[in-house]
């Protein structure tokens, strides 16, 4: 007969993910009631946007074992696609976001079919080249994108007469989308498809021998991650109502990869932590803003040296090992 304490522990372990998501949702719902500073809310809103991109990128890096240094391109295509279709051509923002996400997914499919034949450094360089091309187009096509001066006049998202035009309203909108991306990612990695992807990340040859269509799996996850980046880009454009090519360059792609590595490759919750940490650091410590790329490089090297699984995964593993040793000593 299980005691009440054992039943409680068993229930928590059985429903750990659902309880964690519920607690996070409750905290996010209550957060604006305790913190109404627009500057602080603006930072957490940016964390939400970055988390959406990093979630998709982590699925590609952590669960297919591939690397992409070009996801800022999909982020930028989503942002500029929504900006141009709404501000220039007068399309309603919600249909524009959906249409742009579909088009970006199609672009990811078209480039994914040839470049995903590559692997390792060759794939990284191919995606980096794609990012360079997209960034150059955004920078040079002045008539359509505004060029180096950026693109302004982007409308806010809204429903009827209700507009998401302040930080509190944007908080609920952005984190609502991020939580949906989080749930999608969690459900995916726990499904049969996710187990196949985990096998692919460990050993592609062994996964293929077990019946996993490795090529199709890579392409599907690549397209999914691009669509998530596109939606995050559209939200970014309608949130700030101004965008410029500098936000979607090669260094942005590198920062996103660092967020994945710091949080933990293959760790969905680590994506949230990595995006939050590296978005927050420049705001908390001024020197990080000036030497951001240098500091990010140091953080990446330290994590790879001492916690190669990522901060979240590495710390969790350390705690588990210590608890196991204590139980062993107690016996």
Mean pLDDT of all residues belonging to the chain: 85
Report pLDDT for 293: 65
Residue 277 buriedness (CB in 10 A; 0-12 / 13-18 / 19+): middle
Select the highest-mean-pLDDT range: 98-112, 182-196, 277-291: 98-112
* % of the chain surpassing 70 pLDDT: 85
Q: Of 69, 66, 71, 317, nearest to 197 (Cα)?
A: 66
Report d(CA 165, CA 60) in Å as an integer: 33
Instruction: Report the run of H or E that residue 159 belongs to, with start and end.
Output: strand 158-159
At residue 289, the pLDDT reads: 60
Say if residues 150 and 240 touch (Cβ distance below 8 Å). Answer: no
Cβ–Cβ under 8 Å, residues 136 and 250? no
Question: What pLDDT, on a 0 to 100 scale, did the predictor assign at position 65?
Answer: 81
For 128, half-sphere exposure in the C-beta direction (CA atoms, 13 angstrom radius) is 13
Cα–Cα distances in angstroms (integers) from residue 269 to residues 54, 62, 251, 312, in the given order: 11, 12, 23, 8
Domain boundaries, the chain: 27-249
The stretch 275-299 carries a mean pLDDT of 72
Element (H, E) at 119: none
* Nearest Cα to Cα of residue 197 among 129, 268, 137: 268
42-66 mean pLDDT: 91
Residue 209 CB contacts under 8 Å (≥ 6 apart), including other chains:
none
Percent of the chain with pLDDT over 90: 41
What digits encode the pLDDT tens for the residues 232-276? 999 999 999 999 999 998 888 888 988 898 888 888 888 898 899
pLDDT-based confidence at residue 172 (cuts at 50, 70, 90): very high
Whether residue 106 has pLDDT greater than 70: yes
Confidence bin at 107 (pLDDT 50/70/90):
very high
Residue 287 binned pLDDT confidence (cut-offs 50, 70, 90): low
Q: Name the band, by pLDDT with cuts 50, 70 and 90, for residue 212.
A: confident
SS3 state of residue 188 = helix
More confidently predicted of 139 and 194: 139
Q: What is the pLDDT of residue 66?
A: 84
Q: Is residue 97 over pLDDT 90?
A: yes
């Amino acid at each position: 007969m299980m005691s009440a304490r054992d039943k409680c522990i068993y229930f928590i372990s059985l429903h750990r993910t659902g309880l964690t998501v519920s607690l996070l949702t409750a905290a996010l719902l209550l957060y604006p009631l305790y913190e109404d500073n627009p500057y602080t809310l603006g930072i957490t809103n940016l964390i939400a946007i970055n988390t959406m991109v990093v979630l998709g990128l982590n699925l590609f890096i952590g669960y297919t074992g591939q690397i992409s240094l070009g996801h800022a391109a999909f982020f930028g295509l989503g942002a500029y696609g929504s900006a141009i279709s709404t501000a220039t051509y007068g399309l309603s923002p919600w249909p524009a976001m959906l249409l742009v996400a579909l088009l970006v997914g199609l672009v990811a499919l078209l480039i994914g079919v040839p470049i995903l034949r590559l692997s390792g450094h060759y794939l990284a360089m191919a995606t980096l080249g794609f990012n360079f091309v997209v960034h150059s187009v955004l920078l040079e096509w002045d008539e359509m994108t505004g060029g180096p001066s950026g693109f302004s006049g982007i409308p806010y998202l809204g429903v009827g007469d209700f507009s998401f035009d302040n930080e509190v309203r944007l908080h609920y909108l952005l984190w609502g989308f991020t939580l949906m991306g989080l749930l999608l990612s969690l459900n995916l990695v726990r499904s049969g498809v996710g187990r196949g992807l985990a096998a692919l990340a460990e050993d592609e040859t062994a996964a293929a021998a077990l019946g996993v269509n490795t090529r199709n799996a890579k392409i599907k996850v690549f397209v999914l991650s691009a669509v998530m980046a596109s939606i995050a880009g559209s939200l970014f454009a309608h949130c700030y109502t101004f965008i410029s090519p500098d936000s979607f360059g090669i260094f942005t792609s590198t920062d996103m990869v660092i967020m994945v590595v710091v949080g933990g490759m293959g760790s969905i919750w680590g994506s949230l932590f990595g995006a939050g940490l590296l978005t927050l650091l420049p705001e908390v410590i001024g020197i990080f803003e000036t030497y951001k790329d240098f500091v990010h490089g140091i953080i990446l090297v330290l994590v790879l040296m001492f916690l190669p699984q990522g901060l979240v995964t590495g710390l969790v593993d350390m705690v588990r090992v210590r608890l196991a040793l204590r139980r062993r000593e107690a016996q």
